[in-house]
Structures are given as structure tokens and as C-alpha cells.
Amino acid sequence: MTVTAQKTNEVSSIRRELGISLPVICREIFAAHRAEIQVRNERIAVANLGKILEATLAIANRKGFAAMSLRELAERAGLSLGGLYAYIKSKDDLAVMIQAQVQRVLQQAMTNRLADIRDPAQRLSEAIRTHLYLSEALLPWFQFLYMEARHLAPSERRRAVALEQESEKIFADIIIAGQQTRQFRDCNPQVAAGMLKAMLQDWYLKHRKHRQRGLNVAGYATQVEEFINRYLAHTNS
């Protein structure tokens, strides 16, 4: 009970702090894509964008973006097929919208929340928790980004790969800093960061499995931290 409450609080604290709610996200998307979106009234546009994006994520995460027809999408979003095209330039454009937005949010959150922390061990903990809570708060968005990235146009895919590398580099740099202060033992920081990312991504890729086992984000975060801390700890033998 306490754990659940704490978890909910931590996630919703991230939500509040970073402005992660469907209306806010849609307002940003509306601002970023004003040129292509034909609807001028912001209230209406944001409301419909919300329905469209929610429906896209739900359908695409179940059967895949390629297998989702725009008719099915329009129906679920409560619009006609023609009406849908007032909000998107093309089907591919829709995928790019989502991808760009979740990338932007992730990058900004990591930067903001690590800004004031100096100690490597604390930075590592904060980076792990930010990544996990963010993926929990934006679960379908993260799942979409991971599963559909390879089906994007080459230029967009390169951006996705670059962000992925950048995000891994954040972890590697923290580990290197901790090795320089001798808080962490000597080992390959890239490998450690790679393993860490694999565990972080497992949270949202196998979300159902973890929840069925009664594990919540806070509990998983603790486990990941214990894993990486034991790996980075000095051997006393």
C-alpha cells in the first residue's frame, strides 16, 4: 500500500514537474506542426490531436503501425477519414510526430533532473529513476518509439539511433566520473551502460510481465540499482 502510493507519487511528480499530460503534449505538438495542421482553433485542434494520438498508440502497440489502417484509426478517434487528414499530412507523418515528441521529452527530462547533482552515485540513481518513471508515465509512447523506430524513413531513423546513443552516453559518462573518484571499480563503462539500458528498456517492453509479478516502477528501480551497484562496487576479497 505504501509502496504503491509512493510509486504513484513519484510518477505523478515526474508528470507534474515535466508537464507530461496529454493536453500539454498535444499543445506542444500543435505548436511544432502548425504548418501542416489545417485546423486553426487551438482548443479544437488540441482535443482532436489527443484522441488521434491516443488511438494511434493503442492500435499500433497492439498490431503494429504498418498494420493499422487510417480508417480504423479515424473511427477510434471519433473522426471521419477525411477529417483525420486535417491533422496529419500522411500516415508516415503521424509516426514522426509521435517519435519526435517522445524524444524531445526524454532528452529534456534527463537534462533538467541531472542538472544540479554532482555526486556520480547520486547522478546514476537519478538517471535510472528518471528514465524508468518517464517510461512509466509515457508507457505507450516509449513502446511505440522502440518498436516502430526501424520502420521510419532513413533520416528519421538516424535521429532515433543518435538519440539512443546519446542517452546511453549519459550513463557511460556518469560511470566514468564515478571511476575517476574511485567510487566505482575499474571496468568497461560502455558495456555497463549498455547492460543498464537493456534493463531499463525491459521495464516498458515487458511491462505486463513485470506488473503480473506484482512489481511496480519503484520496486524495479530498486532492483536495477542493486544490480548495477553490485557490478560497479569494488571487489573486497
Partner DNA sequence: GTCTATAGCATGATAGAC
Partner DNA sequence: GTCTATCATGCTATAGAC
Q: How far is the CB of 24 from a copy of itself (least distance, A)?
A: 29
The size of the interface with a copy of itself (CB under 8 A), counted in residues, is 32
Cβ-based nearer residue to DNA, 38 or 122: 38
Of residues 69 through 128, those in contact with a copy of itself by CB under 8 A are: none
Partner touching 104 among DNA, a copy of itself, none, CB below 5 to 8 Å by kind: none
Of residues 118 through 147, those in contact with a copy of itself by CB under 8 A are: 147
Cβ-based nearer residue to DNA, 9 or 80: 80
Report the amino acid identity of residue 233: A
Mapped to the 3 state alphabet, what secondary structure does the chain carry?
CHHHHHHHHHHHHHHHHHCCCHHHHHHHHHHHCCCCCCCCCHHHHHHHHHHHHHHHHHHHHHHCCCCCCHHHHHHHHCCCHHHHCCCCCCHHHHHHHHHHHHHHHHHHHHHHHHCCCCCHHHHHHHHHHHHHHHHHHCHHHHHHHHHHHHHCCHHHHHHHHHHHHHHHHHHHHHHHHHHHCCCCCCCCHHHHHHHHHHHHHHHHHCHHHHHHCCCCHHHHHHHHHHHHHHHHCCCCC
Q: Which x/- pattern over 3-42 shows residues binding a copy of itself (rule: CB under 8 A)? A: ----------------------------------------
Does the footprint of a copy of itself cover residue 209 (CB under 8 A)? yes
Q: How far is the CB of 122 from DNA (least distance, A)?
A: 47
Binding site for DNA (CB under 7 A): 38-41, 44-45, 48, 68-72, 78-83, 85-86, 90-92
Q: How far is the CB of 117 from a copy of itself (least distance, A)?
A: 25
Give the footprint of a copy of itself on this chain (CB under 8 A): 62-64, 66-67, 147, 150-151, 188, 190-191, 194-195, 197-199, 201-202, 206, 209-210, 213, 215, 223-224, 226-227, 230-231, 233, 236-237
